[in-house]
Structure 1
Amino acid sequence: MRTLLIGGNGFIGSHLVEGLRAAGHAVSVLDPRPARDDVDWSGVNYRCASHADETVLGEMLADCDVVLHLASTTVPFTSNANPVYDVSTNLVDTLRLLGAMRSRGLRRIVFFSSGGTVYGNPDSLPVEETHPLRPVSSYGVVKTAIEQYLLMYHRLGELDPLILRPSNPYGPRQAASGRQGFIAKVLSCLHDDAPLQIWGDGSAVRDYLYIDDLVSLVSQAVNGAECGVYNVGSGIGHSLNDVRSAAERVAGKTMNVEYLPAQGFDVRGIVLDIAAAGARFGWRPRIDLEEGLARTWREGG
């Protein structure tokens, strides 16, 4: 299978590159950043360009069977500050990508949506895929809109989309400097003996998924023709304070915590119902939080 990863240089993308290559797939990457130096890119067709570059995009699409779309120029924290930028660089550029695929008769796309933002503040936990979508960030609104366009083109018989809604993936190589990746930030603070800032009182609940479990599902799903929407998480919720305590046990030391005012665009709690992905793909996550934290800590975050 010839796979094209748009946004393959990031945390999730670089792990997928390794997993797909190990599974025997031919892997190409289209990413505007130079290839990171902590990944072996041997045998990977890497193009340093944006998927908004229609010429380069066309060349890459001509040599692939399935597109994995992971790219995003925003995170929830930044998206509300400039929703016009969010829409123009994520929604509009994705629509151009879909148009380029359709014009070439390329039907298969795996889109990485967001199980942490598209539902907003859910009515109950865990959240099934059929729950109403009520995002409270522009990031979630744009992810939802892209999902709807993909499903529209599927109904029109023009695309075969698989939409994945990952929860909060974590693991080695996740940057601690950004606004996403709470576990990466916690482990970085422990490593540097630095204080940890938590927005809110630390009671917000999240569903954390170790990166190898996400790669395992995608490696299976990319081979098939399944379409539709699937949650991908651990199915277990942990508060921010729980995560901090577990990380302290793994590291064998404690940390100082500074609690800051809660942010309106952060959901209060999210845990994903993953029964559909389990039934369809025969998949289940295997790495629990404490083991995942330990693996990430040992590998330097």
Structure 2
Amino acid sequence: MSGFTVLGASGYIGSHLVPHLRALGHSVWAPARGAAEVLTRPLGHVLYCVGLTGDFRTRPFDTVAAHVGLLAELLRRARFDSLLYLSSTRVYQGAGRTDEDAPLALLPGQPCGLYNLSKLCGEALCHASGRAGVRVARLSNVVGPGMDAASGNLLASLVQQARQGHVQLRSDPRSVKDYLHLADLLDWLPQIALTGRATVYNVASGLQTSHAQWLAWLQQRTGCTVHWPEDAPLQQFAPIAVHRLRAEWGWRPRPVFSDDLFVAAPAPAAPLAPSMPAAPSVPSVPSVPAVPAAAFVGAAKAGSR
């Protein structure tokens, strides 16, 4: 078994990675934020999960510090066997392709510009460091048990609203994104860190899921009503290429329409304990076929009264 260091272990992905790795028999160190020992002790295989998500727009300086600052110090001074930097498929915004070697558009004036540029700066540092075993994983939209609606995660917000009986969607139901179940992410990150042959991987399902499909599934599960403005913006992202992941490991993503998405986020707790219980195992449900936005018109009108 291998030794891992999970940086950002208090976040959504990191907090699930730690118990998952331990369950596989690996030794795991999950240092607290700001721990000076990360620059003085051997780290083994580093999973760099430090970062901001939904709140990056209101915390621009923290975003750059999280995505670039600590990473630069690690690449310059730390002792590790490998380092896997978690980036995002958002960096493909405005690009003509979504494979790992695609030329990327830099759009600093766009709402997501700083987020994308800071992630790409982190990626560039990884490549320029000259350190062996340094890789990048570009993650799509991760969904799973314990999602926090306060984090800005769209699906977490929709699930929370559905449990309360009414969903207020702010974008066009025809909008589409790539979603990846947390369980797949937990399986693949250690494999990439330990045996990946390439330096950059898209970690995504490779499938497009529309907001309309999510609304149909949530209505089926909860009976909630739904509504969205007539002028709601259409958000469309190109399908994410997963050829590299499939070629190395035979990638077969789990269904994202899974009842474990209704497992609530845990209440704030004390600092991370040595081990954490795994999320309850709930059988997944079949994927829901695309549903035209028109199918929701009646429900939308009813919900807006």
Task: Name the TM-score, length of structure 2 as normaliser.
Answer: 0.76
Q: Tell me, what secondary structure is at the counterpart of 2:149?
A: coil
Q: Tell me, what secondary structure is at the counterpart of 2:30?
A: strand
**Alignment check: 8 A CA contact 1:202 1:240 kept:** yes
Q: Tell me, what secondary structure is at the counterpart of 2:194?
A: coil
**Alignment check: 8 A CA contact 1:208 1:234 kept:** yes
Shift of 1:207: 0.4
Instruction: Show structure 2 runs of 5+ residues with no match.
Output: 266-305
**Alignment check: 8 A CA contact 1:167 1:208 kept:** yes
Counterpart-to-counterpart distance in 2, 1:226 and 1:165: 15
- 1:169 paired with 2:170, answer no
Greater Cα offset, 186-195 or 164-173 = 186-195
Counterpart-to-counterpart distance in 2, 1:295 and 1:108: 32
Q: Greater CA radius of gyration, 1 or 2?
A: 2
1:159 alignment partner AA = A
Shift of 1:258: 3.6
- 1:70 paired with 2:69, answer no
Q: Tell me, what secondary structure is at the counterpart of 2:206?
A: coil
**How big is each residue's C-alpha offset from its partner over 1:23-72, in whole Å with a ceiling of 9 and x where there is no partner?**
11101112xxxxxxxxxxxxxxxxx333xx5x23235xx14211100111
**Alignment check: 8 A CA contact 1:236 1:271 kept:** yes
**How big is each residue's C-alpha offset from its partner over 1:150-202, in whole Å with a ceiling of 9 and x where there is no partner?**
1112xx3x2321211111110001111121x222111111112244242x323
What is the aligned-residue RMSD (CA, Å)? 2.4
Counterpart-to-counterpart distance in 1, 2:45 and 2:218: 38
1:287-298 equivalent positions in 2, closer than 5 A: 287-290=254-257, 292=258, 294-297=259-262
Counterpart-to-counterpart distance in 2, 1:288 and 1:212: 10
- 1:159 paired with 2:132, answer yes
2:44 alignment partner AA = D
Counterpart-to-counterpart distance in 2, 1:98 and 1:259: 47
C-alpha spacing 1:86/1:219, structure 2 compared with 1 (3 Å): closer
Counterpart-to-counterpart distance in 1, 2:10 and 2:187: 18
**How big is each residue's C-alpha offset from its partner over 1:107-126, in whole Å with a ceiling of 9 and x where there is no partner?**
410111001x11113435xx
The equivalent residue for 1:187 is 159
Q: Tell me, what secondary structure is at the counterpart of 1:110?
A: strand
Match of 1:141 among 101, 117, 130: 117
1:83-232 equivalent positions in 2, closer than 5 A: 83-101=60-78, 104=79, 106-115=80-89, 117-123=90-96, 127-134=98-105, 136=110, 137=112, 138-153=114-129, 156=130, 158-179=131-152, 181-198=153-170, 200-224=171-195, 226-232=197-203
User: How many residue pairs were aligned?
Assistant: 259
Instruction: Show structure 1 runs of 5+ residues with no match.
Output: 31-47
Counterpart-to-counterpart distance in 1, 2:74 and 2:225: 45
**Alignment check: 8 A CA contact 2:172 2:232 kept:** yes
**Alignment check: 8 A CA contact 2:143 2:182 kept:** yes
The equivalent residue for 1:36 is none
The equivalent residue for 1:245 is 216
Q: Tell me, what secondary structure is at the counterpart of 1:214?
A: helix
